[in-house]
Amino acid sequence: MHDLPDHPRDPIALNIAIALVFAALALVRLGIPTAPYFDEVHYLPAARAVLELELATNVEHPPLAKQIIALGIALFGDNPWGWRLPSLLFGALALFAAMRAAWFSSQTRAASLLTGLFVGTNFLLFVHARIAMLDVFMVSFLMIALWMFAGAVRENETGRWRLILCGVALGCAMASKWNAIPIAMLPGLAFLASRWKAERRRLILSTRGWPVAGISLWEAAIWLGVLPLAIYAITFWPFLFWTVPSGNPTGLIDLHQNMLGLQTQVLEAHPYQSVWWQWAANSRAIWYLYESIDGAQRGVMLIGNPVTMWFGLIAMGWCAWAGWRERRKDMLALVLLYVVSMALWVVAPKAVQFYFHYFLPGMFISGALALGVERLWQRGERLVPGVIVAGALAFFAYWFPILTASPLDDPQDFLRWAWTEGWR
């Protein structure tokens, strides 16, 4: 008789613990600086406009993330805690969802836990979980969508409600920031491509086969196509009350033409602007804050964890090769997600781009590194996986003061972290 198949135990308790530790660390000095900094100066007035419902501001971006920030202000007050607590909660949720997506796609505890470690310490998620910007909400909703889709594929008996939640999350992601749109298209296209390959004669009506048995293509089109667009449209409800530049608050087409014009306008050069190959090389940082404030010299630096970003790029290349060779769908999915999220910025008609646009690709880089370290460990390697894990944690600890606006000794202290010209 054959041995019983191995069924690894779900690491959900450890996933929750990792997310809680992340949230606890992100709480450190969350209220500092006490004044808005970096892009908070744009998004906080936009959030207040949601509460006032008089004049629309920051109309170049969809409204949902600003509504969530407004909810934080309504619940916790118009103060640094009210501004930033929603970001912290959604940052921890993004981390948890990424671990759950890794679990359902790989079915290994190690991949899930290592994803939590590398995502939680990649600097990008941590910094954006502590500032009232839009990106963390978009990323969180996308991670939830990928979690739900992977869960539907893995556990077909839960497929329907998971695809519904996936569709809701995709709509919310697009309604937070347009960067989500290319990724939001992938679950529906993956479902279509899979059924096209398996059931060409009964493509629309068949409920058999991969990726989710029991769900027909027409039903999947509702949950992954129509529902996200409906959710996206509903989030524009404040425009029914706002005065808008076009004078036509009910015209979504006119409004989106105006949004697109604002997104593609040619802006003046910015000292921190960068391009996609600099993001991949981790060679251009942004200083969200560096000034004397709240009684001390303080700074907040956005750069990727060097261990995660550089070794993760190698791991992404390995995922492409090993995924194709071994027909590993989880590896190939990570490669596709990374390529699509990066391709947006290669072709996007946005004249001025910044390193924070690498936030979403950086999540997939972190996931690829988790799979690479897991494979090395399975092969009996101990030194390299140990060095990578310890290195990621050590760099996070070393950078912690400059991620959390810690008091610095003097104005030249930034040189402790700004090792290259591109990091200054």
Contacts of 253 (CB under 8 A, 6+ apart): none
d(CA 108, CA 375): 11
Which spans in 56-185 are helix H?
A: 64-76, 80-106, 109-120, 124-128, 135-154, 159-176, 181-184
d(CA 214, CA 212): 6
CB of 371 closer than 8 Å to CB of 105: no
Exposed e or buried b per residue across 162-174, where buried means at least 16 C-beta atoms within 10 angstroms of its C-beta: bbbbbbbbbbbbb
Residue with tokens 């921890």: 92
- C-alpha to C-alpha distances, 391 to 114, 117, 362, 387, nearest whole angstrom: 13, 11, 17, 6
Q: Nearest-5° angle of CA 379, CA 17, CA 93?
A: 100
Give Dmax over CA atoms of the chain in angstroms. Answer: 75
CB of 229 closer than 8 Å to CB of 175: no
d(CA 98, CA 107): 13
What pLDDT, on a 0 to 100 scale, did the predictor assign at position 3?
A: 47
406 closest CA partner among 129, 139, 28? 28
171 closest CA partner among 51, 61, 62? 62
d(CA 404, CA 247): 42
What pLDDT, on a 0 to 100 scale, did the predictor assign at position 160?
A: 95
CB of 212 closer than 8 Å to CB of 153: yes
Q: What is the CA radius of gyration of the chain?
A: 22
Exposed e or buried b per residue across 64-85, where buried means at least 16 C-beta atoms within 10 angstroms of its C-beta: bbbbbbbbbbeeeeeebbbbbb
pTM: 0.94
Residue 310 CA, chain-centre distance (Å), reads 19
From first to last of the 424 residues of the chain, give the pLDDT tens digit.
344 445 688 999 999 999 999 999 999 999 999 999 999 999 999 999 999 998 888 888 999 999 999 999 999 999 999 999 999 999 999 999 999 999 999 999 999 999 999 999 999 999 999 999 999 999 999 999 999 999 999 999 999 999 999 999 999 999 999 999 999 999 999 999 988 887 666 788 888 888 999 999 999 999 999 999 999 999 999 888 887 765 555 577 778 887 887 777 766 777 888 999 999 999 999 999 999 999 999 999 999 999 999 999 999 999 999 999 999 999 999 999 999 999 988 887 777 788 999 999 999 999 999 999 999 999 999 999 999 999 999 999 999 999 999 999 988 999 999 999 999 8
d(CA 361, CA 223): 25
What's the token pair of residue 242?
């706002």
What's the token pair of residue 137?
């909400």
